[in-house]
Amino acid sequence: MKRLFLLSTSLLILAASAVQAQDSNTIQSEASNSEKLTNQAAASALSVYTKWRDESLRNYPQGANTPHLALAAVTQQLDDRTAQVEILLAADMKRYTISVKPLTLARQTSGEYLPTPAGRAVTIDRKAVRKLAQGSDAIRVGEMTTIVPVTRTTQALEITWTPKNDNDGQASVSVVQLRKEPTVTVNGYILSDPIK
């Protein structure tokens, strides 16, 4: 009886060790995938913004320093409860505020979609210090990656972005679809006249 008890206890300990080892590998794998997603998203937002800027501003005398506002966003639903959002905001700014709110979209009989909040907004206020071009007029860039709590019914994210200087800036809003695969969006506004 004592032998049977020791044998069964040993088997249980071995089984528990195997499960723990398997779980720690799974967690490591998930962390590695998350790091890959973050790195991929950061490169995507910067490259998409840079492509938009280079194509849109090439006919302006100041080139990349032409006054403009731009938001590049990479969104991805990671699971039923979380989404990852990587944002690059470019503007003549000292600070910026970004708010990301989950939405559901109800299609109306007119064909339009009615957005309804589907959770709490994540709001971030930061100082903008980085410049991608040279010169005192250079546009500053703010970059961030954040996780947003979502629900199964979340279909989109509303991103409100406000570049600020000494006074409060004017807010702009972008609505971006939320999918399991990364979705890349750029919204840009040029604040100057092109070369004629």
pTM of model > 0.75: no
Please report whether residue 11 resides in a domain.
no
Give the pLDDT score at 66.
86
Q: How far apart are CA 29 and CA 22, in angstroms?
A: 11
Overall average pLDDT of the 49-77 stretch: 90
Please report whether residue 12 resides in a domain.
no
pLDDT of 117 strictly over 50:
yes
Q: Name the residue with tokens 């403009």.
A: 68
Cα angle 14-17-19, degrees, rounded to a multiple of 5: 110
Please report whether residue 3 resides in a domain.
no
Please report whether residue 86 resides in a domain.
yes
Place 135 in a pLDDT band, splitting at 50, 70 and 90: low
**What are the backbone dihedrals phi and psi of residue 43, each rounded to the nearest 5 degrees, phi first?**
-65, -40
Cα angle 154-34-27, degrees, rounded to a multiple of 5: 105
Please report whether residue 19 resides in a domain.
no
Domain count, the chain: 1
Give the pLDDT score at 56.
92
183 vs 196: which has the higher pLDDT: 183
Please report whether residue 50 resides in a domain.
yes
State both tokens at 42: 């950061």
Give the pLDDT score at 108.
93
Identify whether the C-beta of residue 67 lies closer than 8 Å to the C-beta of residue 114.
Answer: no
The whole domain housing 135 covers: 30-190
Which CATH number fits the domain that encloses residue 34? 2.60.40
pLDDT of 95 strictly over 80:
yes
Overall average pLDDT of the 8-33 stretch: 33
Please report whether residue 95 resides in a domain.
yes
pLDDT of 21 strictly over 80:
no
pLDDT of 103 strictly over 60:
yes
The identity of residue 184, as a single letter, is V
Please report whether residue 127 resides in a domain.
yes
Overall average pLDDT of the 126-140 stretch: 79
pLDDT of 26 strictly over 60:
no
